[in-house]
Amino acid sequence: MLWIDANQKVFWVVLLAALSFTFAFPQVAQVWNPRTGDRVLYEVFGERFTKSHFDAIERELQAVLTLAGGAYASRTRTESLVFPRADDSGYRVDIAPLQFHVYLKEAQRLGLRISDAELGEWRRRIWREYTAIIRAREQLEARGTDLTSQNARWEFFQLQQEIAKELETSGAFDVQGWAQMVREAMARMPRGDVRLTPIAFEEALRDVLLVSLLDEYVKASVNVSLDDVYDLYSKRLQRRALSWLPVEPTDDLREKVAASITSEDVEHHFDANREGFFRSLSIACDYLLIPREHFEAQVEASITDQDIEDSYLAGRNRYLKPYIPPDEGEFRLRTAEEQQARDAMIYRPLTEVRDQVRKALIDERTDRDLRDFAREVKKRLYPTAEADGTTAQASTFEDLQKEHPFLRVAKVQASTQEQAEEAFGEAYIRSVVDSWYRTAEQEMDLSETQRSALQNHQILPDGKGYVYFRDVRVIDPHRSAFKEMEGRVRESLERERLAEILSSALEAELKAVNSGEKKLEDLVGQTLEVEVAEGVSSTVRTGEIESSRFVGGIFPGTSAAYGPEIRVPAPESDGEKEKASGEEDPQEDLVTHPSDRVLRETAFAIETRGAVAFAGDKEEGLCYLVRFDDTVKPDPAEFDRYRSGLERELLAEKERTYFRDWKRDVEVRAYGRSLETTGEAEPDAGGAAETTAG
């Protein structure tokens, strides 16, 4: 039972992640690629692994992992046995049946097991989750909630969690309901041959849990010491001072490099770096905005003193005084005079709260009128069939604007997610628009739920009105033609060629500096000859040495970045250049150096203080010689602030190393060799493939 609680983050979220969508929303697409073949036999731990065995494990895995949402599993700290790696889309890739068989055999060899009590606990948890989903859906439908709307999903999850908590507290479990749940889930499987009976499903679930337990068993062998964590802290949080010497191409070199690049070179550069030139995915649409201000102005003009008085009397409890009458607990009839005196003691008078009452009444009537008008708009945009079977012609945004000039209709031009807020303007709703981009990144379209939601109005931020969206179009960046971006590609290739030429020009000088023959300062203001192409040469110039105070590190191969950036004075304007030579501006603006990342990565990759390394920034077409000048160790008092994060990072890295070594050992014992070493996805059947099982 302790293992169940400890292993929840690895498997429980995975197992239940897709249930809500499976039973309450459109079915989640399955990610599964079954292997094919008439006869497949492997030698595994000295035993023959047949095609029928392969198919049986495949069916069980597909059933359990489909119900568990295996393709949509949350990423664990490191790779696991059930979910070994992530594919390019970020989803987990399910384990192959042969691998699963090997790990299951290994778990059994080690004596690991999932007891009936542990399996029963999983059974109860899955049943409670399923029951909570069904009841939450039924309750929302009884309220008339449109489950396809954007807001319904959050409401659904909240209600589902409340019901699941109640079921857990009461310890409820229905054996017949569990069996029915499995049957319904299996009926949703796209392939009929993977629909397991409840008993078969339970045994398949036990096997998956056992392999997950093996996963935890292996990783439990890994630990990190406090000294290891502090060493990483000292490395990551140190700051370094650095100097750099910029190497600048002359105008002549730029012209000759540009002239040396042919159209074929540009096309080849585009093909080799295609992904880097595509514009970000963009979305375009039309919208119709119903401004709240229009209805608010109408309501304000129509409200009378009598309306305000009636509203005050109907909602006096909003305006109570902080006073409790001494006879509050008495139960007796009061005369009209007594009641009037009592009201004067406990309610603030209308004269005092008139403005509040008026504002509340305006808000209430405005919300009502706005909501009623939006419903009428929906009927016009998306008419339903009448009793006689006829359906009125749908109105366009433009039709409605002609009838109601206060409506605002606009087109949102194709824009990336970074441009969306500006492009959508007053119709920008972050939660809605961001969800479109997230889905479009994976599907190149909106989901069915999102398309359905377009028929409902969306509420603008701060309740400023409602908006309907129409014709939401996803523009796939991969359809961009070479001709559309030929100029960008050529500029990129020119910068890359310049960086390569500058790098080759400095090879000898860099070697001389690091050997002690020269100092970096000796290279200031030099002109060096470089070869552009065969028979074509030009020159480059070295600039002045620039330095930076202690900056934080950026570490190649990781996303880790710590400490301050390299900051330099902003480029001078013409007016600033005319300042007197001795005048200083104490408020001088500083900006991030254009090659900040390249300079810091290079400086923190240098191991010896005083050493120099070459840094080429292909994005900017600039090059530098970077020197590591000094270092400052991090403050020990700050260690506890970073300790937990660094400990997790170090533990994850050690787990990956240990885990892969362990898998390699298991594969050698199972197949006679390591698949990682040979580069095989699975062992070659070899001569065993010609053998008939049995």
Q: How far is CA 603 from the centre of its chain?
A: 31
CA dihedral 143, 148, 152, 157 (to 10 degrees): 110
Q: What sign results for the dihedral spanned by CA atoms 515, 516, 521, 527? A: negative
The answer to whether 524 touches 245, Cβ cutoff 8 Å, is yes
Average of per-residue pLDDT across 414-423:
88
When the pLDDT of each residue in the chain is averaged and rounded to a whole number, the result is: 78
Average of per-residue pLDDT across 434-444:
86
CA dihedral 418, 423, 429, 434 (to 10 degrees): -30
Average of per-residue pLDDT across 138-143:
84
pTM over 0.85: no
Flag whether pLDDT at 148 surpasses 70. no
Tell me 586's DSSP state: T
Q: Which two tokens stand for residue 241?
A: 């001072």
Average of per-residue pLDDT across 317-334:
68
Backbone angles phi, psi at 43, to 5 degrees: -100, 110
Average of per-residue pLDDT across 66-92:
42
Average of per-residue pLDDT across 332-336:
74
Element (H, E) at 539: strand 536-542
Q: Is 477 exposed, middle or buried (0-12, 13-18, 19+ CB in 10 A)?
A: middle
Nearest one of 648, 609, 603 to 219, comparing CA atoms: 648
Please state which of the ranges 21-25, 123-127, 205-209, 413-417 shows the lowest mean pLDDT.
21-25
Taking only the tens place, the pLDDT of each residue in 479-501 is 556 777 788 888 888 888 888 88
Percent of the chain scoring above 90 in pLDDT: 19
Which pLDDT value is given to residue 66? Answer: 64
Q: How far apart are CA 296 and CA 369, in angstroms?
A: 9
Taking only the tens place, the pLDDT of each residue in 211-230 is 888 878 887 888 889 999 99
Which pLDDT value is given to residue 192? Answer: 59
Element (H, E) at 248: strand 239-249
Specify the higher pLDDT residue, 86 or 193: 193
Taking only the tens place, the pLDDT of each residue in 161-174 is 888 888 888 888 88
Which pLDDT value is given to residue 15? Answer: 41
Taking only the tens place, the pLDDT of each residue in 587-623 is 457 888 888 888 998 898 898 999 999 888 877 777 8
As a whole number of Å, the CA-based R_g of the chain is 35
Q: Which residues of 249-280 are buried (b: 16+ CB within 10 A; e: fewer)?
A: beeebeebbeeeeeeeebeebbeeeeeebeee
